[in-house]
Structure 1
Amino acid sequence: MSSPAAPAFPGSSPKAESAGSSRRRAGRRARRPTVAVVGAADHLGTLVTERLVAEVEAGAIGKVLALDVERGTAQHVTWRVGPLDAPDVAEQLRGADVVVMLAAPTDLASALAVPAAKRRDHAVRRAQAVATACAAVGAQRLVAVTSAMVLGAAADNPVPLPDDAPIAAVPDAGTVGDLLEIERVLARVHRTHPGVAVTVLRPSALVGPGVDTIVSRHFEAPRLLVLRDGKTCWQFCHVADLADAVATAVVQQLDGALTVASESWLEQDDVERLSGMRRVELPAALAFGTAERLHRVGVLPAPASDLAFVVHPWVVSSARLREAGWAPVHDNETCLGELLEEVRGHHAVASRRLDRKDAALGAAGAAVALVGTAALVRRRRGRRS
């Protein structure tokens, strides 16, 4: 049944609307589902949409709808273009049985270009509008892609974190804080729209063409920041593997929280060996204090709390997806190599080429590493003189 919170159609009573929704759902169960992708125009959206089109060809899905504020490049889908954060999104979702909402941050440059309050408001309004629209059009499932960052990065985290690990990230004004607010909206769906099942996929650090995140920018500094007496574990998720995970969740109708990542993880020594990069080692208090000062004076646009995600572990298991038959094609070594290739030399974000140093200052770990490296160079010069 549709939730009482769902907007009534003109001229219909809540009772009639509820009965109509039940009839629509019963009819849809007898045919292959129509799947709508919200946020289908960027690179991740294109991969997810094309992967779902493959399921149409395999006979598991009937049709794919692609929604965004502009038309993307995915073919063999029905494009519906318009705002995604307003009640009108219900019209774009008309006919959808399953809705995939992509909220995983992959374009840090664009995110940092928008004032934090405005960006947060847009993210929350979009999540609320899509959830409400799912109930209004009679969709049976909402599959949301956020990030394993919501589980938090901490020195005492178990390695790996299970699928049902509690949300423990520190609320902040950055993209992690945005994800926490989106997850709060998703957590209320079962109460406000009880007829809509919710699946949440939480990938580890994303890697792939065009991906720009606080983790990828960490590797744009001259050295890798390491905390003294700390332990860093690196785990990645290729966007193509994430697209496969979305298809698995949709086709197999998986419920609840699902983590997504490459098999196992890399130690800090492995990353330095594979990348050829050297470390700059700082005490935790100095590293976080430096990040906070840089953020306070406006040098670092991202919050200092982001630093935790490149110095503390937040490795995940992907256990439930593996039980469902999903397996990543890309291992962590391959993902690291692709990440390094993306940030090496010619790094472009949203079609705008960034200077290496300027790009690095977008992430706490890279900024602190730059400061730490500069201090190390000054100390060495002082010794020589």
Structure 2
Amino acid sequence: MVAVAGPGDVVGVPALRIARLLAAARGQEDGVAEVRVLAPVRGVVEGTRWRVVDTDGPGVSTELAGVDVLVWVATCTDLAQALVHRSADRRAALLRTGRALTLAASAAGVGHVLVVTSAEVFGALPDNEVPLPDDAPVRAVIDDGFVGDLLAVEALVEESREHHPDVRFTLVRPAALVGAGIDTALTRYFEAPRLLSIKTGSPAWQLCHVDDLASGVLCAVTGDVVPAGAVTVGSEGSLTLTEVESLTAMRRIEVSETTATNLATQLHRVGVLPVPASELAYVAHPWVVGSATLRARGWHPAYDNGTCLGVLLDAIGGRHAVAGRRVDRRDAAFGAASAAVALGATAALLRRARRH
């Protein structure tokens, strides 16, 4: 029996897709006799049993009775909802859910816990190996952003390995997720009027369709025993910035790393930019993963990076963002004319934020 939970008070698109695919495999794959979705609100996924429970409360232990595998999707894919909360409150709630789930899993005799974070925890650095192996060192910077949240979750998982040796923990780290309903800082990068380019950067764009994440989790749940540690999930290879420009028909705005970092720091400080300046690295340097562990067990992505990019563009159609914040078409048009005008629009947003 498998149970699936989302980040906290929402289930999230990845958790729903994972539950749906597990339910479809019920009776066909070993270990999928029943699928439960744990959430604080009622919902429906065909073939699953929906359990209404606070995932950060004591009642979750009862709902894990008889469960063999727990899948907890910790990564945020609903940026609009997440931005309602202060970063400290958001992280505290996420960790409460993590502690409650890991304690309940051990108490209920759950043998395997999979925690979905992100390949962003590896960090985006110019000297990154391409692709990164599944056991590459974690080098991301911990701060008040969403990557910092996931680093805190992974630290909690490491503590849980020590305190609950009866449970096998596996971290699942997907590349940048795309799909209908996925809203992240990285998908909003493509809602901007121009593609931000760092002059000294060497980006390599790798995406992961949410359905490929779901099939990767299914492989980890039902295939040969996946070793404790971490597995990565992503489309084959990566795209260069030039290829991304061609596929999106978007033009780049090129700035120095110093200019981009200083401006992003100011915008984040006054609350305009939803993520800290450190996350600019993810559009400047590579963080491509190879998914070697899952591939060795027969998993292969159904979507390539080009197709994933098309899915992303379809999902964000009609939306516009400047500095990661949603704006209407008139405001977004500030940045459409030229690099100078785009920078001017960002500065205008900064001045407006300061006035308020």
TM-score by length of 2: 0.89
Measure how far apart 1:271 and its partner are: 0.3
Residues in 1 aligned to 2:94 and 2:80: alpha-carbon distance in whole angstroms: 16
Alignment partners' CA distance in 2, 1:214 and 1:81: 29
Letter aligned with residue 38 of structure 1: A
Q: In the alignment, does 2:2 pair up with 1:35? A: yes
Structure 2 counterpart of 1:195, one-letter code: D
Residue matched to 1:208: 179
**Structure 1 counterpart of 2:340, one-letter code:** L
Instruction: Give the conservation status (yes or no) of the 8 Å contact 1:142–1:197.
Output: yes
Out of 85-94 and 168-177, give the one that drifted further: 85-94
Q: Which amino acid aligns with 1:343?
A: I
Decide whether aligned partners of structure 1 residues 295 and 166 sit closer, same or farther in structure 2, where only a CA change above 3 A counts: same
What is the Cα deviation at residue 105 of structure 1? Answer: 1.5
Quick check: 2:37–2:49 contact (8 Å CA) kept in 1? yes
RMSD over aligned CA atoms reads 2.3
Cα offset, 1:372, TM superposition: 10
Alignment of 1:45 with 2:15, yes or no, is yes
Higher alpha-carbon Rg: 1
Q: Contact 1:162/1:317 (CA < 8 Å) preserved in 2?
A: yes
Structure 2 unmatched ranges of 5 or more: 345-356
Cα distance, 1:379–1:205 mapped onto 2, change above 3 Å: closer
1:131/1:373 Cα in 2 relative to 1: closer, same or farther (>3 Å)?
farther
Work out the CA distance in 2 between the residues paired with 1:154 and 1:37. 33
Partner of 2:35: 64
Cα distance in 2 for partners of 1:370, 1:154 equals 31
User: Is there any run of 5+ residues in structure 1 with no aligned partner, and where?
Assistant: 1-33, 348-355, 381-385
Encode CA deviations 1:9-34: one digit per residue, 9 max, x unaligned: xxxxxxxxxxxxxxxxxxxxxxxxx1
Q: Distance in 2 between matches of 1:65 and 1:336?
A: 31
8 Å CA contact 1:214–1:362 kept in 2: the answer is no
* Native 8 Å contact 1:141 1:197 kept in 2: yes
**2:261 maps to 1:297:** no
Q: Cα gap change, 1:373/1:185 in structure 2, threshold over 3 Å: closer, same or farther?
A: farther
Q: Offset at 1:312?
A: 1.4
Cα contact 1:116–1:173 (8 A) shared by 2: yes
Q: Find the residue that maps to 1:57 and give its secondary structure.
A: coil
**What is residue 302 of structure 2 aligned with on the other side?**
329
Taking only the aligned residue pairs, the percentage that are identical comes to: 45
Aligned to 2:350: none
Residues of 2 paired with 1:245 and 1:379: CA distance? Answer: 40
**Are the counterparts in 1 of residues 335 and 341 from structure 2 also a CA contact under 8 Å?**
no
Asked whether the 8 Å contact 2:185–2:324 carries over to 1, the reply is no
**Which residue identity does 2:2 align to in structure 1?**
V
CA contact (8 A) 2:198 2:260 kept: yes
Contact 1:282 1:372 in 2 (8 A): no
Return the letter of the residue paired with 2:226.
L
Q: Report the Cα distance in structure 2 between the residues aligned to 1:359 and 1:292, rounded to whole angstroms.
A: 11
The one of 82, 87, 95 aligned to 1:116:
87
**Matching residue's letter, 1:322:** R
Q: How far apart in 1 are the matches of 2:104 and 2:89? A: 22
1:360 aligned to which of 294, 304, 324:
324
Q: CA separation of 1:68/1:228 partners in 2, compared to 1, >3 Å: closer, same or farther?
A: same
Q: Return the offset for 1:362.
A: 6.4
CA deviation profile, 1:280-329 (whole Å, cap 9, x unmatched): 11111111111001112222232111211112111111111100100000
Which residue of structure 1 lines up, in the alignment, with residue 239 of structure 2?
266
Contact 1:41 1:72 in 2 (8 A): no
Q: For residues 181 and 359 of structure 1, do their structure 2 counterparts lie closer, same or farther at Cα, with a shift above 3 Å needed?
A: same
SS at match of 1:153: coil
Question: What is the distance in 1 between the residues matched to 2:137 and 2:343?
Answer: 43
Residue type at the aligned position of 1:301: P
Partner of 2:55: 84
Matched, 1:199 2:170: yes
List, as ranges, runs of 4+ consecutive aligned residues in structure 1 with deviation greater than 3 Å: 357-360, 369-375, 377-380
Match of residue 130, structure 1, among 90, 101, 106 = 101
Question: 2:70: which partner in 1?
Answer: 99
Give the CA deviation at 1:175.
1.1
